[in-house]
Amino acid sequence: MLDFLATSILFCLLGGLGSLLLRRWEAIAIAVAGIGAAGAGILGIFAAIPVLMSGHGEVFSTSGPFPFAAFTVRFDPLAALMVLIISLVTAAAGVYSLSYVKDYAKRGVGAMGFFLNLFVASMMLAVVVDNAFYFTLFWELMTITSYFLVIFDQDQEAVDAGFLYFFIAHAFSMLIMVAFLLLFTHTGSLDFASFREADLPPWLASVVFVLAFFGFAAKAGVMPLHVWLPHAHPAAPSHASALMSGVMIKLGVYGIIRVGVDFLGAGAGAAWWGWMVVAFGAVSAVLGILYALAERDIKRMLAYSSVENIGIILMGTGLAIVGAAGGQPVLAALGLGAAFYHLLNHALFKGLLFLGAGALLHSTHTRDMAEMGGLGRRMPWTALCFLVGALSISAIPPLNGFVSEWLTYQTFFAAGTSSQFAGRLLGPLAAVALAITGALALMCFVRAWGMVFAAAARSEPAADAREVPWPMLVPMGALALLCAFFGVGAPLAANVLSGVSAAVLRADSLQISSGWLVFPGNPGQAVLSTPLVALLLIGLLIMPLSIALLRRRRYVAPRIADEAWVCGYQHTPQMSVSVAGFVEPPRVIFRNLYLLRAGEGPVKRAIETSVRDVTIAAKRVEPIWDQITSRLSVQGIEGLGRHVQALEGGDLRLYCVYILATLAALLIALAM
């Protein structure tokens, strides 16, 4: 399957280079970039699925141009899952960009295609390489290419967002490099294979884990290192935002799992690592969705919601680390299985929602939800796809978000029934945090869909909006169908993901589905059948339909009123619940939690001030260096020149004396 993967990366590179070279002919550049990305995505899917289904990976190794680092590629099930996620969203984004990027005409679409394709290629390479040097290389390449995508609009907001993103990404990737360096000094090699076999003393393992955790957590968008996310994701073009929010932040979780479970864990880890991860996850989940509620900008709301979902994924991962450290293989397998399922699901529905936001931006030219409204009539297919995305992210049965949250709850339950007190205390508390998050997410996305698509238009652009063209609809529809598939078809997918977690933990596979059922390892603990729930929900519609037909002989067709009822007054369009008014109650009830968000401003300002100070100091130091080096030599040469100039008298007789003196000196020299 590595040849499929290599071809996929080749497609990316060709698409990117072609887009850059053909940038003068914008239509062709857009087509090349889009088809490159779409082809890469489809090939990546074909590369990943055999590895996932069989559970066996491939390893490929060459020596590469550097003697200290071999170019090793290890396409194991975890890498295959990440490649699958990257490919699915890339295929969608590629087709989407064929029509969406036309909005950016004359602003450098060739460069956008180049950076996007390079971004995808660097992500795919980062998850499959098995060497710390190449991993860091592709990680940095990923950050740089996504930086250029964030600042694409080149207005003040985008540049500020890009700067913040770049600063935090690099500051924290240094922590990752330090962690790898520590492992290198202990093992003497930069290969991940040697890291896996390294036998570290517990204190060193903890230091490495903490460094790697914070380094990767900044990229994943965990609170409090998430400050770049709500600015960077909205600034980028929508298909790039979909990739950044749906895929790139997952690479942060991938890094945490690689270092925490693959290298260090599976028995050698400590339980407090896992509880630390769960704590950060819980805080990110609750505060993330709470801050999402306060947003009017649809993309910022989706960005904060990504923070929330990363929190949910980390809660499952943390419990898996606890299970691996405490000799509870079922808890570990279940936790990782739930985390991987939510990883996949979030990529699907967040990608769908960002593509939908892009469609809204395309049609109404605004990101402000208060300016939209009534778009369900004007853009029916976008509305339907966005509804599926909203239902999925609110964990409504029988869609995919519900299955992964159900598995996460079962992980908490398994921790709650374990023999260790920490698990029995903290597992149910984490479940309560997830319940709060779920309820808030429901409110957030009811508001989002309702304010954008339901009721009446609140502005002129919304009233004139048109449905988006098919290259933008097809990817959204495909992602929506996948959301439904991974929900209703959970029994099919669950065992595959459990296999991935078994491969990472190097343990036996935990069976979590059979037939029509999904269960957390032990069917006595709980069972779930999403196909059954789906069938029942549809089938039980017969009852209200038959009630409705009860007195049909006297039935008269409904009358459409002139306006909604407002106690007899004249109805105006402002008389509908507003975007901010809808969330007023939780904003007041949880106002103390919102105070923490005020901390984001000072952090940003601190970063900006410190960098500005460093720049000013550098500007002051540079002239000093200038003086010492260049001025000295320049002044010296000038002085020497002036002295030499004094020799020139301008008198012809003086020059004759010079010639005679030189002649005499040469004759004397010859005589000696």
Partner 1 sequence: METAYLFGIGLLQAILLLLVAPLVSGVSRVIRAKFQSRRGPGFLQDYRDLWKLLVRREVIPPEAGYIFRVTPYLLIAAMLLIAMVIPAIIDRSPLEPAGDIITVIYVFALARFFLSLSGIDSGSIFAGIGASRETTIATLNEPVMLLALFVVALLAGSTNLGTIATTLYTQQISAHTAVAAAMLAFAFATFVEMGKLPFDLAEAETEIQGGPLTEYSGRALALMKWALYLKQSVAVALFIAIFVPFGRATSMSPVSLILGEFILVAKLLLVFFILAFFENTFARFRIFDTSHVTFAAAGAAALAFAFSLGGV
* Residues with Cβ within 8 Å of residue 518, at least 6 apart in sequence: 403, 406, 407, 490, 491, 494, 512, 527, 528, 529, 530
Q: Amino acid identity of 153?
A: D
Cβ distance 438 to 395 under 8 Å? yes
Angle at 182 between CA 180 and CA 186, to 5 degrees: 115
Measured from the CB atom, the residue of 458 and 604 that comes closer to partner 1 is 458
Q: How far apart are CA 362 and CA 340, in angstroms?
A: 33
Instruction: State whether the Cα torsion 408-409-413-416 is positive or negative.
Output: positive
CB 437 → partner 1: shortest distance, Å? 10
Measured from the CB atom, the residue of 16 and 520 that comes closer to partner 1 is 520
* Residues with Cβ within 8 Å of residue 349, at least 6 apart in sequence: 388, 389, 392, 393, 400, 401, 479, 483
Measured from the CB atom, the residue of 93 and 383 that comes closer to partner 1 is 383
Q: Is 465 helix (H, G, I), strand (E, B) or coil?
A: coil
Listed residue (495, 490, 513, 502) closest to 57, CA to CA: 502
CB 578 → partner 1: shortest distance, Å? 8
Q: How far apart are CA 175 and CA 212, in angstroms?
A: 6
CB 216 → partner 1: shortest distance, Å? 30
* Residues with Cβ within 8 Å of residue 64, at least 6 apart in sequence: 70, 71, 134
CB 400 → partner 1: shortest distance, Å? 13
Measured from the CB atom, the residue of 202 and 581 that comes closer to partner 1 is 581
Measured from the CB atom, the residue of 13 and 387 that comes closer to partner 1 is 387
Measured from the CB atom, the residue of 550 and 624 that comes closer to partner 1 is 550
CB 472 → partner 1: shortest distance, Å? 21
Residues in a beta bridge with 59: 74
CB 414 → partner 1: shortest distance, Å? 10
Q: How far apart are CA 342 and CA 340, in angstroms?
A: 5
Measured from the CB atom, the residue of 22 and 518 that comes closer to partner 1 is 518
Listed residue (609, 501, 582, 608) closest to 296, CA to CA: 582
- Where residue 302 falls (left for φ over 0; alpha for ψ -120 to 50; beta otherwise) is alpha
Q: Is 72 helix (H, G, I), strand (E, B) or coil?
A: strand
430 burial class (0-12, 13-18, 19+ CB within 10 angstroms)?
A: buried
Cβ distance 520 to 415 under 8 Å? no
CB 492 → partner 1: shortest distance, Å? 15
Kind and range of the H or E element at 431? helix 421-453
- Let me know how long the chain is: 672
CB 433 → partner 1: shortest distance, Å? 8
CB 554 → partner 1: shortest distance, Å? 4
Q: How far apart are CA 200 and CA 654, in angstroms?
A: 83
CB 408 → partner 1: shortest distance, Å? 10
Angle at 493 between CA 490 and CA 494, to 5 degrees: 80
CB 315 → partner 1: shortest distance, Å? 15
Measured from the CB atom, the residue of 14 and 532 that comes closer to partner 1 is 532
Measured from the CB atom, the residue of 577 and 660 that comes closer to partner 1 is 577
Measured from the CB atom, the residue of 235 and 287 that comes closer to partner 1 is 287
Measured from the CB atom, the residue of 196 and 597 that comes closer to partner 1 is 597
Measured from the CB atom, the residue of 547 and 671 that comes closer to partner 1 is 547
Q: What is the DSSP string of 85-98?
A: HHHHHHHHHHHHHH
CB 398 → partner 1: shortest distance, Å? 9
